Copies of this chain bind each other. A is one copy, B any other.
Amino acid sequence: MPSVGVVGATGAVGGVLLGILEERGLGEPRLFASARSAGTEIDGRPVEEATPGALAGAGVDVFFFAIGASASRELAPHAVRGGAVVLDKSSAWRMEPDVPLVVPEVNGERALEHQGIVAVPNCSTIPLTVVLEPLHEEAGLARVRVATYQSVSGAGRQRMEQLRATPSGNQDLAMDWDFDGEEFDEETKIREETRKIMELPELPVSATCVRVPVLVGHSEAIWIETQRPLSPERARELLSSAPGVRLDDFPTPGKAAGTDDVLVGRVRPDMAGNGLSLFLVCDNLRKGAALNAVQIAELLLAKASLAA
């Protein structure tokens, strides 16, 4: 049994991660968090402070990082120095050329090339690539346009509490990402990460990201054009047997929250072109974050046990 650690155990993704590790029999992880949360307990287990020294000396085989990018940039090298593999949920390492960016259903084998860190993609990119990959293999992706309906849990535990505390009639849409003058960093991430994961460095991807007043579950309205013809019927057939995907006529966050699959439906001709239009929803805390990281750990551990 490998020893496992969770850094950011008190956050929204951290909490879901602990549940998934228990569900999947990956043992009782050591728990780490920032100084602010260190000293508390989760289910009777102590939360330690995530300092460079504590992570380097922890003797942990696999560290799940569920913290922000700047903290990850500071701490991950120390965890790696201590001999651990870091599975990092932040955006800190995703576009580093020597860091694999992995969605197990799409490019799982890349995880094995790691040099200490494997990056977990953005919570909107993960379900998008899970759905696009089988369609690309069949028909060759030419263009992707996506409008997101992202839940507030993607912005962290504090925003979840804020949503719960605001009356339903006062909710608004939000666009709470960094803006570069042309698009949000979230939109850039979807394009760049999709290209890296699918190994299609020139794929044209246009994203419009919007935060909706929903607690959990990211939705995406997608239009694709393909190099070769792809009927809705054939696309549904491919998706029905694709790993990590479940067909649903009308996917909503309420149906997706708490489930592991990406729900995809509304697969139909693009009435404005020659491609397809489809709609997906994914639990952004599970497959969009924690579950994807645990699946990467399972890939690495399976390889290690084969090698042993």
- Give the docked Cα–Cα distance between A253 and B213 (Å): 12
Question: Across the interface, which residues of B come within 8 angstroms of A273, CB to CB?
Answer: 143, 145, 204, 206
Residue of B nearest to A166 (CB): B168
Residue of B nearest to A145 (CB): B272
* The residue from B173, B207, B270 contacting A252, defined by CB atoms under 8 A apart: B173
* Chain B nearest Cβ from A195, distance in angstroms: 11
- Contact between chains at B191 and A271 (CB < 8 Å): yes
A residues 253-300 in Cβ contact with B at 8 Å: 253-254, 266, 268-273, 277, 279, 281
- Decide: A221 and B214 in contact? CB cutoff 8 A: no
Q: Is residue A32 within 8 Å, beta carbon to beta carbon, of the partner chain?
A: no
**Are A212 and B215 in contact, CB atoms less than 8 angstroms apart?**
no
What residues of B have a CB within 8 angstroms of the CB of A219 in the complex?
173, 210
Bound Cα distance from A169 to B174, whole angstroms: 16
Indicate if A96 sits at the interface (CB-CB under 8 A). Answer: no
A252-B164 contact in complex given A145-B272, A206-B277, C-beta closer than 8 Å: no
Instruction: Verify B214–A147 contact, CB threshold 8 A.
Output: no
Q: How large is the interface on A (under 10, 10 to 19, 20 to 34, 35 or more residues)?
A: 35 or more
Chain B hits for A271, CB < 8 A:
183, 191, 204-207
Interface SS of A by simple majority: mixed
Chain A 127-174 residues near chain B, CB threshold 8 A? 143-145, 147, 149, 160, 163-174
Residues of B with C-beta under 8 A to A147: 147, 208, 221
Nearest neighbor of A183 in chain B, beta-carbon distance: B268
Would you give the 0/1 interface string for A164-191, flagging 1 where the beta carbon is closer than 8 Å to chain B? Answer: 1111111111110000001100000001
> Is A63 among interface residues, defined by CB-CB distance under 8 A?
no
Partner of A164, one of B169, B204, B210, B270: B169
Interface: A223 (CB within 8 A): yes
Name A216's closest neighbour in chain B (CB-CB): B169
**Per a CB cutoff under 8 Å, which of B166, B207, B212 touches A149?**
B212
Give bound CA distance, A173 to B148, whole Å: 12
How far, in angstroms, from A296 to B214 measured CA to CA in the complex?
Answer: 37
Q: Are A144 and B272 in contact (CB under 8 A)?
A: yes
B210 touches A149 (CB 8 A): yes
Q: Determine which of B207, B208, B213, B223 lies in contact with A213 in the assembled complex, contact meaning CB atoms within 8 Å.
A: B213
Query: Do the beta carbons of A169 and B212 come within 8 Å of each other?
Result: no
Q: In the complex where A145-B145, A174-B252 touch, is A208 in contact with B168 (Cβ < 8 A)?
A: no
Residue in B closest to A214 when the chains form the complex, CB atoms? B171
Contact of A171 among B215, B277, B281 (CB under 8 A): B215
| Cβ–Cβ contact B214 & A214, under 8 A | no
Contact with B along A95-113 (1 / 0, CB 8 A): 0000000000000000000
For the complex, give the distance between the alpha carbons of A165 and B206 in Å.
37
- Give 12 pairs: A residue, B residue, CB < 8 Å, sorted on A: A143-B273, A160-B169, A164-B169, A166-B168, A168-B168, A168-B171, A169-B215, A171-B215, A182-B268, A206-B223, A206-B270, A206-B273
